[in-house]
Amino acid sequence: MELGVPRQHRLLIPRTLWIAWHQGLQTAPDLVQACIQRWAALNPAWSVRVVTYDDWSHWLPAAALQRYSTLPELKPAHQADWLRLQLLLHHGGVWADATVLCRQPLDAWLPERCDEGFFAFANPGPDRLLSNWFLASSPDHPLMQHWSKRYEQLLRYPRPKWCKPLQKPLRRWLKHRLKHSPHAARIWCHPLTHRLSAHLPYFGQHYCFTEILRTQPPLRALWRAVPTLSAGPCHWLQFHADEGGAGNAAAPLRKPTVAQAPVFKLNRRVNTPNQAGVRAELKRNHGGV
């Protein structure tokens, strides 16, 4: 026990921050490098580990790597999804996407939200219970055990090869019908769906989380015990900041919920017009890009 710290504020996860840039940090865009530098600057007591393709074997057990080698070929987004769950399952700590910008030290806000040994920002959309771009977990947490297993099951569903000309319109129809639908998880995770469509949804990992909660009440109770912190304000700068120029770059910070967001989820297209506010936020603290 940490002396002098109330139980509800003790950090129950390792002080390890996992970030992946598979080609190596030297190839990362300036925005990604600035985000990683910000994490290190604001969290000196944490170990910041940037994982590349070359060092998966250093961090993951042989059994996990063997299972990965038998998976179907995956897109980079799904590779990263598999990796984040495995790292947290086996080591614990925090996973942050490379384009998550730290605004407050982790020790200033995370411990009080990790009494259950698990945290994720909640309700990014009507079809998802949580965001996976920032996850905190103790090693071998029950949610991670069941979530990682269910996600691998989804990845292993056979992808049909029948009638390829129909696959594209079928995929478009499913994506249109299920976009923002509260039934998306149940349908996308159903084996019958994958007998008909070869499409692996971008939010498949999110849907697997919803499914393990739907089918297992003890896991649902664990998630309900996690303090709720909405993902919405963390996306504000990404979606709304200063589309017209640098003059309004501070506008989102005048909204209390946005101003209090401990992180911002960005994207790496820093040169698009709506990223002027991102540049201003980076310059506000610890330099810019």
In the chain, where the domains are located? 7-284
Q: pLDDT at position 33, please?
A: 92
Residue 205 phi, psi dihedral angles, 5° rounding: -65, -40
CA distance 50 to 247: 34
CA distance 76 to 174: 22
This prediction's pTM: 0.85
Question: Which residue, among 180, 289, 274, has the nearest Cα to 235 in the 3D structure?
Answer: 274
Under a CB-based contact definition with an 8 Å cutoff, are residues 92 and 141 in contact?
yes
**In the chain, which residues have pLDDT < 70?**
1-10, 160-167, 170-171, 173-178, 183, 188-189, 194-196, 198, 240-256, 269-279, 283-289
The string of DSSP letters for 135-165 reads EEE-TT-HHHHHHHHHHHHHHHS----S-HH
User: Which residues neighbour 43 within 8 Å (Cβ) at sequence distance 6 or greater?
Assistant: 15, 17, 102, 105, 106, 107
Q: pLDDT at position 74, please?
A: 92
How far CA 12 is from CA of 6, 89, 220, 289, in Å, comes to 12, 14, 20, 34
Q: pLDDT at position 32, please?
A: 92
Q: DSSP state, 230?
A: B
Burial code of 83-109, b = ≥16 C-beta within 10 A, e = fewer? bbbbbbbbbbbbbbbbbbbbbebbeeb
Q: pLDDT at position 236, please?
A: 84
Under a CB-based contact definition with an 8 Å cutoff, are residues 34 and 118 in contact?
no
Q: pLDDT at position 159, please?
A: 73
CA distance 33 to 96: 13
